[in-house]
A = this chain, B = another copy of it.
Amino acid sequence: MSSVKIIELKESILEDNDRDADALRAEMKAARRFYLNIMSSPGSGKTSCILRTAEKLKERFSIGVMEADIDASVDAETVAAAGFPAVQLHTGGMCHLDADMSRQGIRALDAAAAELGLPAPEFVILENVGNLVCPAEFDTGAELNAVILSVPEGDDKPLKYPLMFEQCSAALVNKIDAAPAFDFDFDKVKKNILFRKPDCEVFFVSAKKDQGFDEWCEWLAAQAKRALRG
């Protein structure tokens, strides 16, 4: 049996999600906490990228992970098995998380950390619902949004899902180890990402083979430190 807490999120009753997201960002900043929102298609490797990232940064930050899904709890179990405080958030069929749902999740994550005898994590990672469309439309209150695009999905995806790439400060191109099996143009994908978001930081990684994570994690740690300094 699973030991991770499954949180059934309640739909927000707030009308103004943007204002609520700004409020959550201010709350997290005041509490010296950093909130990272990871988005992607289903199956692009969010969980394994989060695990690699958490492993590399765990000496520098106390890290907790919220795994959002419509159903199932395999991802939170994977993260918890690696030793990180984790909760599974169920969205009740909804295709995205908003700020109030984030706040419910962070409270549950803090409770899960407390049960492990740990303080509230200062570095909170959300694995959003696997979806390249809707999560981009809802501000979660995160300090930083990142998108993962995997090689098998194709280098044209930034052209087809504009808002997602416009909303993200960083893009991880994952599964580069599988590139030989696919027609995938690394220069073209970078060009397509920068077409949507000219100042996006693009990282080429393989979570499976542990490639490219040092560069991403150094950049991410710098962002988090700057935010935590206030």
> Which residues of chain A have a CB within 8 Å of any CB of chain B?
41-44, 69-72, 74, 93, 95, 129-134, 137, 150, 152-154, 156-157, 159-163, 175, 177-178, 181-182
Chain B residues with CB under 8 Å of A130's CB are 41, 132-133, 160-161
Interface contact A162-B95, CB-CB below 8 Å:
no
Chain B residues with CB under 8 Å of A69's CB are 160
Chain B residues with CB under 8 Å of A95's CB are 95, 131, 133-134
Q: Nearest chain-B residue to A131 (Cβ)?
A: B133
With known contacts A41-B41, A41-B42, A178-B152, A74–B159 Cβ distance under 8 A? yes
Interface contact B43-A161, CB-CB below 8 Å:
no
Given contacts A42-B157, A43-B150, A129-B133, list 10 more A-B pairs with CB under 8 A. Answer: A41-B42, A42-B161, A43-B152, A69-B160, A70-B160, A72-B160, A95-B95, A95-B133, A130-B160, A181-B181
Interface contact B129-A131, CB-CB below 8 Å:
no
**Closest CB in chain B relative to A38 CB, distance in Å:** 15
With known contacts A95-B95, A130-B132, A133-B131, A153–B43 Cβ distance under 8 A? yes
Which among B41, B152, B162 is the interface contact of A71 at CB below 8 angstroms? B162
A and B contact pairs by CB, cutoff 8 A, 15 listed: A41-B43, A41-B153, A42-B132, A42-B154, A43-B157, A44-B153, A72-B156, A74-B156, A74-B159, A95-B95, A130-B160, A131-B131, A150-B152, A152-B153, A178-B178
Most B-side CB within 10 Å, residue of A156, A181, A182: A181
Interface contact B71-A159, CB-CB below 8 Å:
yes
With known contacts A131-B132, A133-B129, A70–B178 Cβ distance under 8 A? no
- Alpha-carbon gap, A137 to B178, bound state (A): 33
Q: Nearest chain-B residue to A96 (Cβ)?
A: B133
- Alpha-carbon gap, A42 to B158, bound state (A): 11
- Alpha-carbon gap, A69 to B181, bound state (A): 26
Interface contact B70-A154, CB-CB below 8 Å:
no
Interface contact B132-A134, CB-CB below 8 Å:
no
Interface contact A160-B71, CB-CB below 8 Å:
yes
- Alpha-carbon gap, A152 to B131, bound state (A): 16
Interface contact A72-B181, CB-CB below 8 Å:
no
